[in-house]
Amino acid sequence: MYNPSTFRQTDFGELRRFMHAHPLATLVARTEAGLDAAHVPLLWADNGTDYGCLRGHFSRGNPIWKQALGGQNWLAVFQDAGHYISPNYYPSKQRDHKAVPTWNFQAVHAQGKLTLLEDSAAVKALLAAQTAQHEPDNGTAWQLSDAPDDYIHAQSKGVVCFELTIEKLEGKYKLSQNQRAENRQGVINGLQQLGTPAARRMAEQVAQYQPHDPEKQR
């Protein structure tokens, strides 16, 4: 992806945190009919490689999983909803009107080869781990063992589990770092005035991720 150094996020721990917080990824593969994509929740795991791996499952009825047999690279895209940024937030716009709208967002791209998990024990372990990731930790969490074994076994036959070993990992956090300090504060103020949960969250992110360029601090 186009990723200027101003917005580039390279902290591995932060990228892992973001993928965990936004697990519904878009998986992209090249097929004979052209590009195809699937939207699936993914779980990061340590498989002993530099960046670890992503594990998940497709519906067996989705033909995209068959592309894994060709050994091609896949792309997993994680992103948040982001937020629209109005030029009216910038104090500089009030002086010279040289400003246009933009959209702030965060995204992580992971690339690698995808292999299928066919061992029944590995499949069951993955489904249990994904369930545990999303169920509330309050003593009432649903578990695979809550359902009859034969039912889980039958349902498991309807999915194809996989592991994507990450070979390349990129993060882009576009959070107004390319703006001067007064305009960044203007963005924070404008978003806070909107008062929505999404706007407040974006205001916090703009405040958190300051630019590395000293020229943008003035």
pLDDT at residue 218 in the model: 46
Please give the full DSSP string across 37-83, using - where no structure is assigned: EEEEE-EEE--SSSS-EEEEEEETT-GGGGGGGGT-EEEEEEE---E
Q: What is the pLDDT confidence band of residue 136, given thresholds at 50, 70 and 90?
A: confident
In a domain, 108, yes or no: yes
Report if residue 135 sits inside a domain.
Answer: yes
Domain membership of residue 80 as a residue range: 5-84+103-179
**Helices (H), ranges, the chain:** 12-21, 91-96, 120-134, 149-156, 181-194, 197-208
> Quick check: is 184 in a domain?
no
Instruction: Determine, yes or no, domain membership for 195.
Output: no
Domains in the chain: how many in total?
Answer: 1
pTM beyond cutoff 0.85: yes
pLDDT in tens, 159-216: 999 999 999 999 999 999 999 999 999 999 999 999 999 999 999 999 999 886 645 5
What mean pLDDT is reported for the chain? 92
Q: Is residue 188 part of a domain?
A: no
- The amino acid that residue 55 corresponds to is R
The yes-or-no verdict on residue 20 having pLDDT over 60 is: yes
Is 113 inside any structural domain? yes
- For 158-189, give one letter per residue: b (16+ CB within 10 A) or e: ebbbbbbbbeebebbbbbbbebbeebbbbbbe
Tens digits of residue pLDDT in 48-82:
999 999 999 999 999 999 987 788 899 999 999 99
DSSP, collapsed to helix, strand or coil, labels residue 31 as strand
**Does residue 186 sit within a domain?**
no
**Domain annotation covers residue 61:** yes
Instruction: Give residues with Cβ within 8 angstroms of 190, minimum separation 6.
Output: 85, 86, 88, 89
Output the domain CATH number for residue 122.
Answer: 2.30.110.10
